[in-house]
Amino acid sequence: MIKRSKVPQSRRAEIMGLFQIHADDLPTLSASALLRFLHKDQMEQAATKETVESLIDRYEIDEAAIESRSMTFEGFLRYMESKDCCLFDQTHTSVYQDMEQPLTSYFISSSHNTYLTGDQLVGKSHLDAYVSALRKGCRCLEIDCWDGPDMEPVVYHGYTLTTKILFKDVVATVAQHAFEVSAYPVILSLENHCCQEQQEVMAHYLISILGDKLLKSPLDHPTTGDLPSPNDLKYKILIKNKKLKSQLKAEDRAEGEESADEGEDGDDEEEEVEEDEEEDEGPQTKAKFWSSRKAGSKKKKKKVKVAQALSDLVIYTRSVKFISFSHSQDSQNSYENTSIAEKKARKLIKASAPDFVQHNQRFLSRIYPAGSRTSSTNYSPQEFWNAGAQIVALNFQSLGLPMDLNDGRFQDNGGCGYVLKPEVLMSRERSFDPSSSQHRLKPTQLLLKVISGSNLPLPKSGKALDPFVRVEIHGIPSDSRCKNTQTVKNNSLSPHWDADMNFSISVPELCLVRFCVRDQTSLFRSEFVGQYTLPFTSLKKGYRWVPLRSRDGCSLDPASLFVLVCYC
């Protein structure tokens, strides 16, 4: 049972109204009446007499009511304010999905430039950033590796003023915290700029510090041509990096081998920088910075092959350059994956989204933010999840809508960092185009009533809020929209909206639903108060309370919303 703070009188009154309707004005709710409430109002059709007995045992404390197998209003109130009546389906707080599918079948919680706690130019690099990401369920971490003094590789954002930390300390931190919140595999995505000698030092640290956690050889079971599953790789750490082409003859390698220091998994980041300059999206100072960075990169860069010792540690996550979907279809192996800058990925979706979806059925794709995002802002991950991209990397240190969506997506399936992609993205029989609005003959109708709020946090000024609620649907473009309640004046404790909303959703299994409370500070301006985001597939029907979170994702308990949910 969850203990919650004192319920405002308005919320008590709303719940009392429900109680009286089903109790027929009697002082207690009989077991049969409670079962009717579960079936009719909470739409829990699987509820049985045993369900009701369990609720009475858990939430009723009045001895006479327990004896008569009924529930008083106070017991009913405790039930309505418990996790059993939370908007988020509590069966989804544990791993419940099939974890035996290949890695390509999952969305994987992923971080970009994980070491940074601030921006990409002068921000601090810190080990705590890795701890924080791992504790949020992140399963793909990025490590930018550069030659350091005294043969000690360092981690920082190259050619900038970001601070440096030791590679060996990063590896030790990962080893300590990798499986605190999830048993499923961690992928270390190396952006490797080191000389061969320091790459050998990196390999030594990976082997000696990670020990048995490090996957050093393919799994010992018959292969079907697919990647292993999350279950196969439990408690294992995988290295994502370039790998030597063993089939090349020794005399050809010097000419044909890929460089180890070509930015994000090869040429991709250099291509991205060129795109940024051509499109001239950022301010002049930003363009100048990236221009100088590129010039410095060309000046300092030496062609360096991947060290054999490091290459040997790359098993199922070999980085290769993306050329085209047809090239991947003909030439890419299941254990090879590509990294694509957000702009290039967006162009691919616009030009051939169904091909991108099919590509992501066979291969892992990593999407990363544009180099012009020097302040560590994020794109919306939803547009790339819509195309089935698995490793959609975000700057975890940057707060706001994109990270709210990421947190909402990955609180599903027990917060383990792996969420099974919906069937619409995995079907080999029927192609899927997220940009199309025609997907189902009969869309799902989501009916919401935003009834009230309680205990909303006051701003620093201490002035009572003028709150309203914005409900947002994030999915394929044709499903994405938002609606607002009216504004309630001067009420933080118990605002009442009683606002009905109707959303027509064609691909609900891809959707996230976000409830955002805002304070109307002037006619055209409002400020963030709290939010909660969850997958549509984790929505519980009926009367539910919505826990609110702060901008940094922390609980604002006892702040909450009270809503009625129905969909068909």
Q: Which of 112, 193, 359, 474 does the annotation list as catalytic?
A: 112
Three-state secondary structure string covering 51-107: HHHHHHHHHCCCHHHHHCCEEEHHHHHHHHCCHHHECECHHHHCCCCCCCCCHHHEE
- Pair 367, 340: CB distance under 8 Å: yes
Rounded-to-integer distance, Cα 301 and Cα 304, Å: 9
Helices H / strands E in the chain, number of each? 17, 21
Coil/strand/helix, residue 132? helix
CA-to-CA dists, residue 346 to 274, 328, 343, 356, 507, angstroms: 16, 18, 5, 10, 20
Residue with tokens 């959703």: 505
Q: Measured on CA atoms in the order 217, 219, 225, 227, is the torsion positive or negative? A: negative
Give the Cα-Cα-Cα angle 439, 443, 445 (nearest 5 degrees).
155
| Nearest of 160, 155, 166 to residue 192 by alpha carbon | 155
Classify residue 487 by burial, with Cβ atoms within 10 Å: 0-12, 13-18, 19+: middle
Query: Six-digit token pair at 331?
Result: 């030439």
Q: How far is CA 134 from CA 93, 139, 289, 474, in A?
A: 17, 7, 31, 25
3-state helix, strand and coil shares in percent for the chain, rounded to the nearest 5: 35, 25, 40
Omega prior to 558 cis, within 30 of 0? yes
Tokens standing for 455?
């205990």
d(CA 231, CA 441): 36
> In this structure, are residues 468 and 485 in contact, taking their beta carbons and an 8 Å threshold?
yes
Supply the DSSP string of 326-343, one letter for each residue.
Answer: HHHHHH--TTEEEEEEHH
Q: Please report where in the chains the tokens 């909450």 appear, as a residue.
A: 560
CA neighbor of 264 nearest in space, from 359, 365, 144: 144
Residues 273 and 277: their CA atoms lie apart, in Å, by: 6
Catalytic residue among 22, 157, 193, 359: 157
Question: Is 112 an annotated catalytic residue?
Answer: yes
Which tokens belong to 404?
Answer: 């709210």
Report CA torsion sign: 524, 530, 536, 542: negative
Residues 548, 524: Cα–Cα separation, whole Å: 24
Q: Which long-range contacts (CB under 8 A, 24 or more apart) does 41-49 make?
A: 41/542, 41/543, 42/85, 42/540, 42/541, 42/542, 42/543, 43/541, 43/542, 43/566, 44/541, 44/542
CA–CA dist 308, 334 (Å, integer): 21
Point out the residues that are catalytic.
112, 157
